[in-house]
Amino acid sequence: MSTEENKAIARKFLEEIINKGNFDYADEVYDENVIAHTPYGDIKGKEGLKQFNMLSKAFPDIHMTIEDQIAEGDKVVNRFTFTGTQKGEFMGIAPTGKSFKFTGINIQKIVNGKFMEGWSTMDIFSLYQQLGAISIPGKK
C-alpha cells in the first residue's frame, strides 16, 4: 500500500476507535498478532487492544485531533491532541468532572491495510495533573 493509503487508514482508525468509540472496527484493521507499546505497557492481540474502550467509559466525550501526520514505508507517525472530560473511573481515579487537554505522538506500522505494531508516547503526567490526581509542589 502507498504511504497515502496508510495515512488514510491511520486517520480512519483514530476516528472510528477513539472519536466514535466503534471498537468493532478493530476487527477490520487489527492484525491477529498486533502489539501496541503504550505508556501503560505492551498490549497484545485484537482482544487486548479492545481494552481501549476504557477510555470512552472514563471520558465519554474523548476526542483525538491529528495535528501532524507523516508517513514513510509501512509506518505512519501522528502528533495528536486528546481532549475530554472525566465522567467515569480511570486507572483508579474516581470521576472528577474535570476537562483535560494533552498531547502525544504515535507510530503505527501498517502492512496490507492491517495494524501490526504501534508505539505511543503521551503526556500522561499532564493528564493526571489536570484531573487533580497529582500536583506539582509550589504550583496551584
Report whether 24 contacts 46 (CB < 8 A): no
* Domain 3-131: CATH architecture, name and number where available: Roll (3.10)
pLDDT given for residue 37 in this prediction: 94
Which cell goes with 104? 502525544
Least confident of 99-103, 119-123, 136-140: 136-140
Domain boundaries, the chain: 3-131
pLDDT digits (tens, 9 = 90+) for 26-48: 888 888 889 999 888 898 887 77
What is d(CA 122, CA 126) in angstroms, rounded to the nearest whole number?
9
The residue with cell 514513510 is 72
Q: Letter for the amino acid at 41?
A: G
Report the run of H or E that residue 48 belongs to, with start and end: helix 45-49
Q: How many residues does the chain have?
A: 140
Which SS3 state, helix, strand or coil, does residue 87 take?
Answer: coil
DSSP string, 23-82: GGGHHHHEEEEEEEEETTEEEEHHHHHGGGHHHHHH-TT-EEEEEEEEEETTEEEEEEEE
Q: Parallel, antiparallel, or unpaired: how do β-strands 114-122 and 30-38 relate?
A: parallel
The whole-number average pLDDT for the span 49-63 is 83
pLDDT digits (tens, 9 = 90+) for 77-107: 999 999 999 999 998 999 999 999 999 999 9
